[in-house]
Amino acid sequence: MGNQSLQPDVSRREFFQVAAGAAGVTGTVGRAAAQEGDGGGGETVTIDMTDDLVFDPDERTIAPGTTVVWENVGGVGHSVTAYEDEIPAEAEFFASGGSESEEAARGAYPQQGDVAGGETYEHTFDVEGEYGYFCIPHETVGMVASLTVTTEPQGGGDGGVQEGLPSVPEGLITLGVGAAATIFAVFAFAYFFLKYGGDYGEG
Ligand SMILES: [Cu+2]
């Protein structure tokens, strides 16, 4: 009886060790999945307008829902004005000063639409596509720029939106399968333990 009565105790300890392991793996999978769910739009990026008469950077790729803030970091006044025929058809026209069209914006500057030194203009981009825009007083000296709005992951260069979210689906699947197998093993073990374990005492 002495030897046999030890058996259930050892088994019970092993049972709890396995169960703890399974819980740990399951917890890890849960956290990883939750992290992947983060990261929507609503980001803000800044583009400088400088006394060198440029937009900096003059090309930028952003995700839909991103708000672009143009900041005049110099002392010379600028405008941010969309090229009406260089934006997606479904996108709304945008211009500092709020003009409804490129022609109106050109006609109203500088009484309307000037972004003076230290000031900003911002616009949120929801429609995917290519956007061309310019600065009214400095268009002729090349103060033009473009934006690309896309859900495609960026190819690096400007601190991609997706950074910090490594693609881990394979690892997750492996973890998930491992956790499921472990949990199944625990339940199978518990089943047999409960069904046959009691026999040790009487047998
Ligand atoms: Cu300018």
**Model pLDDT for residues 63-116, shown as the tens digit of each residue:** 999 999 999 999 999 999 999 999 999 999 999 999 999 999 999 999 999 999
Homologous superfamily of domain range 44-149: Cupredoxins -  blue copper proteins (2.60.40.420)
d(CA 86, ligand 1 centre) in Å? 19
Average pLDDT of 150-160?
A: 63
d(CA 89, ligand 1 centre) in Å? 26
Percent pLDDT > 90 in the chain is 54
Residue 161's pLDDT is: 46
Residue 148's pLDDT is: 98
d(CA 132, ligand 1 centre) in Å? 15
d(CA 54, ligand 1 centre) in Å? 7
CA 162 to chain centre: 5
d(CA 129, ligand 1 centre) in Å? 24
d(CA 78, ligand 1 centre) in Å? 4
Model confidence at 127: pLDDT above 60: yes
d(CA 66, ligand 1 centre) in Å? 23
> What confidence category does residue 134 fall into, taking pLDDT thresholds of 50, 70 and 90?
very high
d(CA 69, ligand 1 centre) in Å? 15
d(CA 103, ligand 1 centre) in Å? 17
Q: What residue spans define the domains of the chain?
A: 2-38+165-202, 44-149
Distance (Å, whole) CA 107 – CA 102: 9
